[in-house]
Chain A
Amino acid sequence: MIEFKDFSFQYEEGKEDSLKHVNLTIPDGTFLLLTGRSGCGKTTMIRSLNGLIPHFYPGTMTGELLQNGVSLVEMPPSEMAGKIGTVFQDPRSQFFMTDTTRELAFGCENMGYSREEIIRRMVKTAQDLELGEYLNRNIFALSSGEKQQIAIGSVYAMTPDVYIFDEPSANLDYEATRRLTKVMKFLKNAGKTVVVVEHRFYYLRELIDQVAWMEQGELVRTFTREEFWNLEEETRIRYGMRTLFPERELRKYQSPSQAEGTHTPVLTVSGLGYAYEKRTPIFSDVSFTAGEGEIIGIIGHNGAGKTTLLSVLTGLLKEKTGEIRFRGNRLSPRKRRKLSYLVMQDADYQLFASSVEEELTLGLTPAEAGGEKVLRTLDELNLKEYRERHPASLSGGQKQRVTIGAALMKNSQMLYFDEPTSGLDYDSMVRVSGLIRVLAEKGGVIFVISHDFEFLARTCTKILKLDRHQRTYHLYRTEEVIDELIDELTEK
């Protein structure tokens, strides 16, 4: 049993407590969902649980945090390893090895187990979690979902009693999320305690025993599964929570959109195809038109070619067949790059300058970067007060807005978003959706790659679905594809 008893914590560089008088009991074998708006203290809770606080992230604390009566905060992380296992959010930055087999062995090697014991544990892990096919592969060649399976395996091999997952579905497609649910169900059935921090939690609804909702460092409310399933819609939205039943939410978007028919066609893609050297095509014969102000969602499983399609449309790759025309003019990759702007999932790659204002004008001629326009853009995106700040010092959402600002300054006619709502709470998702719709009203065409169907249904006029087996695509109006999206979600 884990107990938080009047537990408070303040980071060394923090101005106020990140956790305030938290009282929570997690009985053994409980499946706990920890949720709340961004910055509410969820991450601090799990850092306290896995020993990173106070040893890795120092600070001051009061109250107690106990596991079976033993204080967790006094235990060094090296002693906790093997007892409490953590699967981190970003699958790219939690691997120590470069191949999958060694990664699975990593934790056991640290524990000082003999070679025979390490192999025995690895065999059991590969069998229990069905990881046999992933062995001896290069970590960098795996998809996000596969990387996460290896991360879970590496923790599982150490046989901890408590598992912590930090936003595990943030980088996954629906297929990978279903596999994640299966693994979590396996852990729950094995009697393990599972703590999951998550914004999009619909996939956990059958597993949850207890839900803790936090706000501004306080644990405000706990729910049993029944209470959580029957939560009023209005309360859920007030709490800034995503829905537990996205299929119900999606049905709302099944009636034809009001704006249908008002879009003048501007972008014509015909017979577009791409293949990496001498290999089978990633996609071929993609043809569609997009109207001014349209928002097109791109969906498909990992490996279906979403990123490659985006790279060709933005002009980062040159098409092998077909052509792309904008307002009647055929566009070379170079011209496409001039007209396009890609807002990446990870804003850190996109920020180069030393102030927000400089960031917005980077790469533009003095005429293009006229003073008035910068101010207007800053104002429009609520960034005026951060004008002089270093972009790296901003929060994730603010960084995203700075990159959007750079797109506005560049006057991009074609905007591309890659997973813009990954890891966002309900309020932020609604805000991003609204912002994208406002951008669309300015003209041009917007493309969005996303696995977040709730967001897509709310935002897009059309959905382009790439099929990885048949190497083909389908383009639907959003309301036509809702049934299919629901099937994907509910595993039909």
Chain B
Amino acid sequence: MSEQSIQQKIEQNLFPGTANLDPRCKLLLLIFLGFFSYMIVGDVTGLLLMVVFGFLVAAGGDGKWAVKMLVAYVVVAYLNTRLKYVTIPGLSVIMSVFGVTILKFIPIIMVGRWVLRTTCMDDLMVSLERAKFPREITIAFVVMFRYIPTLKIEHGMIRNTMKIRGIVDTFWKKLLHPLSTMEYILVPLLMRCLKVTEELAASGTTRGLERENVRYSLRPVRFGWKEVAVAAGGFLVLFTLYVLDHTAVGAVVIWR
């Protein structure tokens, strides 16, 4: 491969549109969302919130995921309404609280996974450093961010072993023994986690992770006017929805 094509490949943007925003901006949006998501309770405002943030995610190259989460939101919202008609003492209350919690989590999961998938660890590290976060916090945060995609792979390996050994290998066993299922997954997962984080830290240390000098990441990281506009816009949308929630709009019922 020629020098020029290698350089082009190195400088190529891996993600489109909003995914290229400064990681601080994406994290800010996530924090705003986490804060307001619980306070916006109306059917119309809740759905609007999903749509607006769905657009943000879609503009960042994860349209399929946004649509999936939107559908999930509508289904859960509808099922929650149906629950009102089921009356099992005790259980009904638990179920509806559970349903509402899930509903509030859906927008956070939607944006959270998108942020996770479209943020490069070095951009994150540099941007947190620029925001004057102490090194101890940045490194711990980055290692955590990096470990999340590994969890899925490790979990798959453990589940396969459980299946072969006949430990909670069926749906019924899982349902009847939820605690042992958790334990059997968590014990090897924690063991692996300890080993992986130690090796990861060792590998980082020998490559200068702990160096105190100023870092530059491969792609320039800057909290510019675009970031200010998006963060402020996001806040404004959420605040408007919150205000609307306390007007007649908030009282409109869609899911019956």
Contacts and interface: CB of A to CB of B under 8 A. Distances in A.
A350 B165 CA distance: 9
A92 B122 CA distance: 18
A90 interface: yes
Interface string A281-314: 0000000000000000000000000000001001
Nearest to B183: A352
Nearest to B195: A348
A276 interface: no
B165 A349 contact: no
Contacts of B122: 97, 102, 105-106, 109
B208 to A, nearest CB: 3
Interface in B200-242: 200-218, 220
Contact of B206 (A50, A92, A102, A349): A50
A111 B206 contact: no
A266 interface: no
Contacts of A154: 207
B208 A133 contact: no
A170 interface: no
Given A50-B206, A109-B217, A352-B184, A133 B164 contact: no
Contacts of A109: 122, 126, 215-218
Interface stretch (A6-14, A73-81, A476-484): A73-81
B252 to A, nearest CB: 42
Given A102-B120, A126-B1, A119 B209 contact: no
Nearest to B119: A98
A485 interface: no
Contacts of B14: 99, 101, 136
A107 B213 CA distance: 13
A185 interface: no
A94 B208 CA distance: 13
A133 B2 CA distance: 11
A86 B207 CA distance: 8
Chain B interface residue count: which class?
35 or more
Contacts of A119: 7, 10-11, 218
Contacts, number: 195
Chain A interface residue count: which class?
35 or more
B161 A110 contact: no
Interface stretch (A223-231, A236-244, A339-347, A381-389): A339-347
Given A102-B120, A136-B14, A350-B161, A115 B220 contact: yes
B166 A363 contact: yes
B149 interface: yes
Given A341-B164, A362-B167, A81 B206 contact: yes
A158 B204 CA distance: 13
Given A316-B163, A342-B161, A110 B209 contact: yes
Interface string A81-114: 1101110101011111111011001110111111
B194 to A, nearest CB: 9
Contacts of A51: 205-206
Interface stretch (B43-51, B54-62, B152-160): B152-160
Interface in A112-166: 112-115, 118-119, 122-123, 126-127, 132-133, 135-136, 140, 154-155, 158
A469 B150 CA distance: 30
